[in-house]
Structure 1
Amino acid sequence: MRYFVNEFWTNAQRAGHALHEISYRACFKPQLPEFFIDRLTEPSDAVYDPFMGRGTTPIQAALMGRRVFGNDANPMSIMMTRPRLNTPELCDIESRLGEVPWDAGEPTLGDQNFGVFFHPATLCQIVALRSWLSEREEAGKFDYVDDWIRLVAMSRLTGHSPGFFSVYTLPPNQAASIESQSRINERRGQTPPKRDVKALILRKSRSLLRHVGLSYSQFDLYCCDSRNTPEIQTDSVDLVVTSPPFLD
């Protein structure tokens, strides 16, 4: 058996590629899969994460020129991983956002319950974007630029800084109920400020794309029970880097 010893958690070593900067519950640092991918595989070898979460292992494997397999039972995982394997240009993101009818959002009664998180104008913009993306998907027009916009919008919904669409709340990898957020607002004496959804998506996109992006085709992502992945052929994977799923 081979043993590997290293230190992963100093501040300098936490600085990974910008594409990893998507918040997700209990994700490990990219230096962890990087360490093992570098030592145990060669370029074009296949790396697999059966519980990929936010996609740290698939993204790092792609950045290192490996064949990527990823799986997670949560469909949100693919939504968070796939766009970062095939990134659009910033100009294309800005152009596509310019097509969104931002003033056309009509929140339903259910949507309006989220007023404890979002300013009414911000909520209208979120609803407009959601409806527009859904219409594009139903019409078969949804592409990798839309995929990216959805990812970034999801990552900006709620958080504890002005870079998020919401008023101050729990960090983005956690969630507060409507009742809990009402108590937070009362305790802090706050009301949701108006946010510019388009501007915040562009701002986060610039940050994520500040390093070289990816245009990667050697990947397969699945959303299924990891015990049953017949699409992945026996003996086709050279390395598995993963973390066990939560039992909650």
Structure 2
Amino acid sequence: MKAVNQRSLPYAGLADAATAPIQDAARFEEIDWSFPDSTARGLTHGLHPWPAKFIPDIPRTAIDLYTDPGDLVVDPFCGSGTTAVEAAVSDRRFIVGDLNPLAVRIAEAKCEVPTPPQAMEIVRWARGLEIARPGEYLSLVPDIPNRAYWFSDDVAAQLAYLLAELRGLGHSEAFMEIVFSSIIVHASYQESETRYRRVEKDVTPERVLELFRGRLAAALAGAEPIRSLVNAEDSVGRRYMVHDAREPFPSVEPNSVALAVFSPPYPNAFDYHLYHR
């Protein structure tokens, strides 16, 4: 983890962050950044599985220590959006980026949650979901390599039905897509989120629908405190980008970044491309 106060730095894609002086070093040293007693849970942090992410206590503490409401926080390796969520609920503006489009979509989904009327509509919509007819929906399944190896026809059709239905809602697209994405591994023959191996599972369309409704209920519950802390109508200060961290974020004024807080990627720690394609 790197937390750097950048008020005195020209913004240069965070290249100068490594040599920047840590402001208020005494307070920084007093904090046990491993947070051994952390019980950080809740909000939308668990919206989608994401191995090797840092705990919310780290960006939360850095944001509280080095920024004020309205300040700009950046994370060029946003992963599943932990920094974005903590910045959003702390009334900070933020820019987060990642080379992985799924990461950026998850970060957006965690912060741009359904409004109360939209959430009520989603609940009613979910109650009306049905078991798909394979003959009608299997044609909507993308022609991906080894699809039949990882998904039965019935399950693939059920997933295609759910995706088509949620895209017809007309709102909360990122949030709903990520709830849907969060059940894919469980609906497949992949062993787990961190084990890329095929195993036989008793997965049925009924089980897929049960999984989706359960994840959706949990996601809506986690979104409730986000709605009370984040202004859904004012998203100007929240930016999500598919971005190469070797380049500066576009449209960022010099000396405008108050804090960069991020967990840099660790080569070979986890093959995100393999598990997320």
Which TM-score tier does this pair reach, normalised by the shorter chain?
0.7 to 0.9
Give the alignment of 1:1-248 within 5 angstroms.
Answer: 1=22, 2=25, 3-4=28-29, 5-6=31-32, 8-10=34-36, 13-21=38-46, 22-88=48-114, 89=116, 90-97=119-126, 98=128, 102-103=132-133, 104-107=136-139, 110=143, 113-131=146-164, 142-143=170-171, 145-158=172-185, 164-167=186-189, 169-171=191-193, 174=194, 176=196, 180-181=197-198, 184-185=199-200, 190-211=201-222, 212-214=225-227, 215-216=230-231, 217=235, 218-226=237-245, 227-247=247-267
Q: Distance in 1 between matches of 2:39 and 2:49?
A: 14
Q: Distance in 2 between matches of 1:49 and 1:87?
A: 20
Task: Check 1:200–1:213 CA distance in 2 against 1; reply closer, same or farther (3 A cut).
Answer: farther
Contact 2:101–2:242 (Cα < 8 Å) also in 1: yes
Aligned pair count reads 225
Contact 2:158–2:205 (Cα < 8 Å) also in 1: no
Superposed CA RMSD in Å reads 2.9
Deviation at 1:109, TM superposition (A): 8.6
Structure 2 alignment gaps of length 5 or more: 1-21, 269-277
Secondary structure class of the residue paired with 2:187: coil
| Matched AA of 1:78 | V
Q: Distance in 1 between matches of 2:241 and 2:142?
A: 34
Task: Check 1:146–1:102 CA distance in 2 against 1; reply closer, same or farther (3 A cut).
Answer: farther
Structure 1 alignment gaps of length 5 or more: 159-163
Q: Distance in 2 between matches of 1:68 and 1:101?
A: 41
Deviation at 1:244, TM superposition (A): 1.4
Q: Distance in 2 between matches of 1:15 and 1:117?
A: 34
Q: Distance in 1 between matches of 2:67 and 2:132?
A: 47
Q: Distance in 1 between matches of 2:262 and 2:33?
A: 18
Contact 1:166–1:193 (Cα < 8 Å) also in 2: no
Q: Which has the higher contact order (CA 8 A, sep 6+)?
A: 2
Deviation at 1:29, TM superposition (A): 0.7
Contact 1:70–1:220 (Cα < 8 Å) also in 2: yes
